[in-house]
Amino acid sequence: MSLHSPTPRLLGALGIIAILVAAGCSGDDATSEQSDSGSSGDRAAVVTGLVDDVVGPAHRTAAAAATTARTAVHDACPASGAPPSAEVVQAARAAAAAGNEAWEVLDPIDAGPIMERRTGSLVGYKVDPSAVDQVLATAPPSDVETVTERTASPRRGYGALMHLLSTDPATFPGPRCAYATAVVDTIDGALAMVVDDWYEASPSYVDRAAGRAEDAISAQDNIDSWVNMSLSTLESDLKLLADPESQAAAMDPTRQHLLTIQNLWDDDGAGLGSLASDEVEAKLSAELETAIAATDPAALSTAVEAVRSTLGTEVVSALDVTVGFSENDGDS
């Protein structure tokens, strides 16, 4: 040390000033950065919570709903071949609709096993009712292998199942029941495999997505995937809502998609919205509430466009999302 170095008191005073100046200069930037997008630790904690509380459980719910639908359809198609009662058929229709609703919840978050297995092509591809009727009139499939390997996507899944169940119960015995049970068995089996990937594999996908496995998926990759899939899903919804022939049927699925996005964004204050500024968090929350409450296709379409716009601009910016193309349909 130099013989002419500053006194300890002066050093202390200069140090305090330096700390205060540094805090003043960097504090605003740090506060601004954290309010806009959160620290990496914040992001990891938010993503882990969403995987454990929202994303993973939604897959289990969809699989459980598929199993309930399978039981109900088999009840409506007894081995005896006797025509089912109207009440039993109505229960099967309700269970199939509930299963489809639980499946729609997954659209904005269907990365991972669902995408890797192309499960959507077996469970939720857009149905072609005339094609289903054509198959039914010729040689309808009666087993899972035929549905999976030799039946085109528009002729299977929940759409085909609900179409097959929509007719007079007196027509059920025989080919219609064989086709319907094969379709629902395929749905149930496909979703069971997805849940097995999520929770039973080693390492499980839930641990990879939550950051608990050696080959963990990064928090940012999860956020990128969810935001991109949400954007892709809403863009598809807007196309359906713009078509007079499909808009009425598109309203309930669109609401399910919005509810999923709302759960991702909020999750009791610990969702993706907590990583954005208060202004962006409040804006998207309000837009989601408006969209979910819409009661007609025109109002819903306008509200969905507002949600999509905010997601694609302000949320993408706030969460540092890399926007890419996400294919949210299955094989044709």
Domain end position, chosen among 190, 209, 228: 209
Residue 46 in domain? no
Residue 75 in domain? yes
Residue 5 in domain? no
Comparing CA positions, the residue from 111, 107, 110 lying closest to residue 126 is: 107
Q: How far apart are CA 81 and CA 284, in angstroms?
A: 53
Q: Is the pLDDT of residue 190 over 90?
A: yes
Domain end position, chosen among 158, 184, 209: 209
Task: Specify the pLDDT at position 39.
Answer: 62
174 and 204 share one domain? yes
200 and 223 share one domain? no
* CATH number of the domain to which 107 belongs: 1.20.1420.20
Q: What is the pTM for the complete model shown?
A: 0.84
266 and 176 share one domain? no
Residue 15 in domain? no
Q: How far apart are CA 232 and CA 323, in angstroms?
A: 10
118 and 151 share one domain? yes
Give the pLDDT mean for 139-151. 96
Residue 332 in domain? no
70 and 203 share one domain? yes
83 and 195 share one domain? yes
Q: Is the pLDDT of residue 330 over 70?
A: no
Residue 222 in domain? yes
- Structural domains counted in the chain: 2
77 and 189 share one domain? yes
The confidence band for 82, taking pLDDT boundaries of 50, 70 and 90, is confident
Task: Specify the pLDDT at position 5.
Answer: 35
240 and 304 share one domain? yes
235 and 253 share one domain? yes
**pLDDT higher for 30 or 247?**
247
Give the pLDDT mean for 286-313. 97
Task: Specify the pLDDT at position 29.
Answer: 42
107 and 203 share one domain? yes
191 and 223 share one domain? no
Convert the pLDDT of each residue in 153-186 to its tens digit: 999 999 999 999 999 999 999 999 999 999 999 9
Q: Where would I find the beta strands (DSSP E) of 139-269?
A: none
Residue with tokens 């999860």: 222
Domain end position, chosen among 150, 180, 209: 209
Task: Specify the pLDDT at position 237.
Answer: 97
> Which CA distances in Å does 45 have to 41, 58, 125?
6, 19, 34
Residue 199 in domain? yes
Residue 257 in domain? yes
Roughly how many angstroms between the first and final C-alpha of the chain, as a whole number? 78
81 and 197 share one domain? yes
Expressed as residue numbers, the domain containing 306 is 218-318
Q: Are 120 and 114 in contact (CB under 8 A)?
A: yes
